[in-house]
Amino acid sequence: MEVTPSLIALQLVTGIALGAVYALLAVGLSLIFGMLTVVNFAHGAFFMVGAFVGLYFLGLTGNFWFSLVLTPLVVGGIGLVTERFLVRPLYGRGIDYPLLLTFGLSWVLIEAMRVVFGIEGMPSSTPPELRGSIDLGIGFFPKYRLFLIAATAVVVLALWLFLEKTRYGLIVRAGSRDGEICKVLGVDVAKVWLMVFGIGTAIAGLSGVLAAPTRAVNPEMGIPVLAESFVVTVVGGMGSLPGAVVAGLLVGVVFSMTSLFAPDLAELSIFVLMAVVLLLRPQGFFGKAGLMS
């Protein structure tokens, strides 16, 4: 195969589209960790549940956009229940307790999807209005992958505006940094944590329904995604939302470009990237040293 500048450019855009999914996943993971200091090992399972719920609503209504709106609400609702009754009793007991809890929860969710939808999973397809390709000048590129990039940009911008420009966002940021002071000021910190966990899991569910047309939907699909999203989170810096976006796009580009020149090393390449970043900057691109202690 001849490697031309156009092919390299198209592969770069492909990497950005793949990185958009990584970034969206890592944003939800980083939000929960950055605000609650909870390492959510069920994040990949929430991604998988989002894919299944999205396909269920798509089959029920035949409307992709309805599914895209409703799925994050359903998965976010599951996240609210998880935080309220499972994670909340473990606050203050050390970082290992919620980690182990969410690890076990991920397998419960996997088994639940196997029971409900079967071990083979469900078929998925691109929405009719997003099928086909667009000429970018460097070649034709799938419409749906461009939609992934645009959707990720919209979600990240909306989350940034919420956290930085609204009163509730200010309360969320304050509650994550000094819960005791917020309590003294009359803020119900428990509701803040509940909302943050719900938003984080809703983003994971949205990632699942967006990624479904590009990959096989089965109960185990969240396992490799969890590893990849943690790579992105570590590279960008634990708890950093800008880091999650930058690292997600970088990991996607590295994976895509390695697939072009050395396909057998594509999976390994993102872990090599993580190792290099940790050697040079242990806290990641935008992370703060000592956050895990």
For the chain, what are the domain ranges? 27-220
Three-state secondary structure string covering 63-76: CHHHHHHHHHHHHH
- Retrieve residue 289's tokens: 């040293």
Radius of gyration of the chain (CA): 19
pLDDT string in tens for the chain (293-residue length): 577 888 899 999 999 999 999 999 999 998 898 888 888 999 999 999 999 999 999 999 889 999 999 999 999 999 999 999 999 999 888 889 999 999 999 999 999 999 999 888 888 889 999 999 999 988 899 999 999 999 999 999 999 999 888 888 887 777 666 666 777 767 778 888 899 999 999 999 999 999 999 988 999 999 999 999 999 999 999 888 899 999 999 999 999 999 999 999 999 999 999 999 999 999 999 877 655 55
Query: Cα(282)–Cα(175) distance, rounded to whole angstroms?
Result: 26
For residues 229 and 207, is the Cβ–Cβ distance under 8 A?
A: no
Three-state secondary structure string covering the chain: CCCCHHHHHHHHHHHHHHHHHHHHHHHHHHHHHHHHCCCCCCHHHHHHHHHHHHHHHHHHHCCHHHHHHHHHHHHHHHHHHHHHHHHHHHCCCCCHHHHHHHHHHHHHHHHHHHHHHCCCCECCCCCHHHCCEEECCCCEEEHHHHHHHHHHHHHHHHHHHHHHHCHHHHHHHHHHHCHHHHHHCCCCHHHHHHHHHHHHHHHHHHHHHHHHHHCCECCCCHHHHHHHHHHHHHHHCCCCHHHHHHHHHHHHHHHHHHHHHCHHHHHHHHHHHHHHHHHHCCCCCCCCCCCCC
Which residues, at least 6 apart from 65, have a Cβ–Cβ distance to it below 8 Å? none
For residues 12 and 256, is the Cβ–Cβ distance under 8 A?
A: yes
Which residues, at least 6 apart from 53, have a Cβ–Cβ distance to it below 8 Å? 71, 74, 75, 205, 208, 209
* pTM score: 0.93
Main-chain phi, psi angles of 102, to 5 degrees:
-70, -30
